[in-house]
Amino acid sequence: MKKLLVVILLLFNFNTVVYAYDSASSSIVLDIDSGRVLYEKNANEQRLIASITKIMTAIIAIENKNLDDLVIVGEEVNKMYGSNIYVKPGEKLRLRDLLYGLMLRSGNDAAVVIANYVSKSEEEFVKLMNIKAREIGMLNTIFRNCHGLDEEVQNYSTAYDMALLSKYANRYIDYLEISGTKTYQLTTNYNSYIWNNRNKLLKSYKYATGGKTGYTPKAGKTFVSTASNGDLNLTIVTLNDGDMYNNHESLYDFIFSKYHNNLIVDKDNIKFDNNSFYVNNSFSYPLTDEEKSAIKVNVDFYNLDNYSDNDKVGELYVSLDDEEIFRENVYVRVNKKNKENFLSKLISFFTSLFD
């Protein structure tokens, strides 16, 4: 079997950005689309997380039940304290309504109603939370309740783990819509409600799209937010942050000024007449202007002697400062009348990557 390794582009000058002001004990800025960490401070230190716990509560509900299900509030709400939406036993709400109360008003009572509806008990619901955390890669996270109160049992996580959760949550349209809603109105069989989102960044920062706030005296102020500017979609997590709104806004402005999304591999631009090499996915990545010159794209070709239509004939991989950031299979479409002149087709393939 012949094997051909082609280096398409190799340039240097890798720089990392330095952010001067950060009021949090732990923080991170993560690109939602690529998963790239653009800034971090003590991002893997385990801390109490308070009500940003409720992001996981919302995801478990979204993944396991129909949000239009009608839920009858049980006696479990009588034991809840702190931030509540003040629903009463016997009150009827859709699961979707409870999620609005959970995310906008940080309702601890909403959290236990959701847990009992989804899993029959909070204990069983918390098991689902921890299973999902491991699936997402939240290796330094432990959930012990569905709301984040920490007087009796505590939920611990890290800024990095919560950023992974925020990235995962943003795949769901329902989550995006709920967490980004500024005001929600509802009438039940018992009461009428108007819930304003506690996330003040939605009103003060033009690029803000959603998130969840949290606070307990032990945890301090915790905050997960999301923001989009152009085609750059970010999430920020800060733990124990006394100036969280200003901090998030400043971090967003700083990162948006430094990074821009760059289309590095365009799957729709890898084609030509006789043999057509193709990949199934495009690849974009946030880069500073200086980092653009540190990108290296390689194609490792093999199976060049005997291949058929739609065979895998190699792998394309992209690296930044010698660290791999993307890998994708390369396939071939064969014109049966003409399989010769393979080298010229490789050259055309490489050229097409950067047109």
Where in the sequence numbering do the catalytic residues fall?
Answer: 51, 54, 106
224-238 core/surface letters (b: 16 or more CB in 10 A; e: else): bbbbebeebbbbbbb
- Rounded to whole angstroms, how far apart are CA atoms 67 and 337? 55
Please state at what angle helix 54-64 crosses helix 122-136, rounded to 10 degrees.
90
Q: Which residues are 194's β-sheet partners?
A: 185
DSSP state, residue 142: B
Max distance between CA atoms of the chain, in angstroms, equals 77
- Rounded to whole angstroms, how far apart are CA atoms 62 and 66? 7
Q: Up-side HSE of residue 317: CA atoms within 13 Å toward CB?
A: 12
Beta-carbon contacts of residue 182 (< 8 Å; ≥ 6 apart): 196, 197, 202, 203
- Rounded to whole angstroms, how far apart are CA atoms 349 and 263? 16
Query: What angle (nearest 5°) sits at the alpha carbon of residue 123, between those of residues 120 and 124?
Result: 55
Picking from 115, 86, 112, 120, the residue whose alpha carbon sits closest to that of residue 190 is: 86
The dihedral sign for the CA sequence 215, 179, 107, 194: positive
**Tokens 């109603």 map to which residue?**
113
40: helix, strand or coil: strand
CB-CB contact of 136 with 168 (8 Å): yes
How far does the chain reach from its first CA to its final CA, in angstroms?
A: 31
Q: Could you tell me the two tokens for 100? A: 């609005």
Using only C-alpha atoms, the chain has a radius of gyration, in whole angstroms, of 24
Q: Could you tell me the two tokens for 274? A: 């006789």
